Amino acid sequence: MGRPYYIAGNWKMHKTRAEAAELAQALVNELKDGKHEYLIAPSFSCLETVSAIVENTNIRLGAQNCACEEQGAHTGEVSVLQLKDLGVQSIILGHSERRHSYKEDDALINKKVKLALKHRFEVILCIGELLEEREAGRVEEVCETQIVRGLEGVDASDLSSVVIAYEPVWAIGTGKTATPEDAEAVHAFVRKVIARLYGEAAAEKIIIQYGGSVKPDNAAQLMAMKNIDGALVGGASLKTDTFVPIAKFS
């Protein structure tokens, strides 16, 4: 049995509750007969609204981040306990915007990963290089470091709850997409790193998504690659007419 395709929409800092409800309901209707696995990750303020809409459907509810502590005096942070209470099933961690705009380092991301796994969330761990790192020939080094440090202390028994999302930072929101061949090369390398850390069987099973300007017209070519198991979609996830064709690619 091959790995399932897993298509996730990261809505980032978009949508009021009314807008989020409208999009979530449209996706529930459009994707109810979809053949793949699906997730949408609205802003924290829309989670409760969207949770009620996607409950008992084939769309999982994701959060875009969480605090590294369970609770306490952490003004402006959101706890895994609060996310669990809202029906969140999956948490996106280490997104390049968190790493580069908000200066989250591998140690902080690793703390969040372990906390989320402890509370039985699925984790989508994002990795990827900056343009200058790619141009310096450091793609594998950067990605390997982010995987090794991000998963430090994560037991093999928890790896089934981990998805890796490879997002070359230079392709996010820029309209530039890694060619399917470029993306495939990194995905194959990521699988090798997982094999070294957790063994061949675990590496064969882990889902590795691609993210970075995924659109209806390039989704099928990307998914045709042997090691690309889905997509983490940003801008194109904000409208049904761009997300649904990606989600239903064949």
Q: Respond yes or no: is residue 74 known to be catalytic.
A: no
Q: Single out the catalytic residue among 37, 129, 144, 167.
A: 167
**DSSP for 56-125?**
TSSEEEEES---SSSSSS-TT---HHHHHHTT--EEEES-HIIIIIS---HHHHHHHHHHHHHTT-EEEE
Report pLDDT digits (tens) over 48-73: 999 999 999 999 999 999 999 999 99
Q: What is the pLDDT confidence band of residue 234, given thresholds at 50, 70 and 90?
A: very high
CA dist 8 and 48 (Å) reads: 18
Residue 206: give the domain boundaries: 6-247
Residue 133: which CATH number? Answer: 3.20.20.70
143 lies in some domain:
yes
Residue 1 reports pLDDT greater than 70:
no
Catalytic residue among 36, 37, 95, 122: 95
Q: What is the mean pLDDT of residues 3-28?
A: 98
Q: Residue 47 in contact with residue 82, Cβ under 8 Å?
A: no
Quote the pLDDT of residue 160.
Answer: 97
1: in domain: no
Treating both helix axes as pointing N-terminal to C-terminal, what angle do 180-198 and 139-150 enclose, rounded to 10 degrees? 40
Share of the chain above pLDDT 70, in %: 100
Secondary structure (3-state) at 154: coil
In the annotation, is 100 catalytic?
A: no
Q: Is 186 a domain residue?
A: yes
In the predicted structure, residue 149 carries a pLDDT above the cut 90: yes
Amino acid at 157: S
How many domains is the chain partitioned into structurally?
Answer: 1
Examine residue 43 and state whether it is found in any structural domain, yes or no: yes
